[in-house]
Amino acid sequence: MELIYKQAEKKDAETLVDIYNSAFYDDYVKYGECPAYGRTIENMEKSIEDFPKIIAYDQQIAVGVISYQNNGNGEYYIGCLGVKKEYQGQGIGTALMKYFMSECSDWREMTLVTPKDKEENIRFYTERFGFEITGEENDGTVVVYWFRLKRQ
């Protein structure tokens, strides 16, 4: 699989809604809520302004996305890393993280949250990328862990 990456624009909102809905449907069912699931096109257009997004394409099919916020001084917040359900487990999430880290090469620190009970996410961030868990909080009805990765 040879991925191509593209910075999302407002015209990509419908494509992004499709990725998010596929990637986060199971979370919506499990938790009864998921801020990434069920967005409108208008909501996604606004989100593109606030959280830039990089879309991964496989043979011209949008298969995944990473969104982020640049907080300045090399500090980034990863708002979302999602891969369409039928493409999960093929290394696309890893490739998106690596691409993001190379494109935003000024990063000194990255933070993100993920549900506390999503063991596969916890392993992904801690084992594959070296993030450490720095805290936990309630996000609505879901308990989430905060993660941080500092560049040495």
Write down the pLDDT at residue 121. Answer: 95
Write down the pLDDT at residue 75. Answer: 97
The length of the chain is: 152
Compute the average pLDDT of residues 90-114.
96
Average pLDDT over the chain reads 94
Structure tokens at 82: 């999602």
**Selection from 102, 103, 105, 121 nearest residue 113 by Cα:** 121
C-alpha separations of 108 from 33, 99, 141, 145 in Å = 32, 16, 31, 20
pLDDT category at 57 given cuts 50, 70, 90 is very high
Map residue 123 onto helix, strand or coil.
Answer: helix
Compute the average pLDDT of residues 111-119.
95
Helices (runs of H) and strands (runs of E) counted in the chain: 5, 7
What lies within 8 Å, CB to CB, of 118 at 6+ separation is: none
Write down the pLDDT at residue 28. Answer: 82
**Selection from 106, 107, 124, 102 nearest residue 115 by Cα:** 124
Assess contact for 28 and 135: CB atoms under 8 A. Answer: no
Structure confidence by residue, pLDDT tens digits, 33-52: 777 888 889 999 999 999 99
Write down the pLDDT at residue 136. Answer: 96
User: Is the per-residue pLDDT at 7 higher than 90?
Assistant: yes
How many other CB atoms are found less than 10 A from the CB of residue 2?
7
State the amino acid at position 63 in one-letter form: V
Compute the average pLDDT of residues 56-69.
97
pLDDT category at 152 given cuts 50, 70, 90 is confident
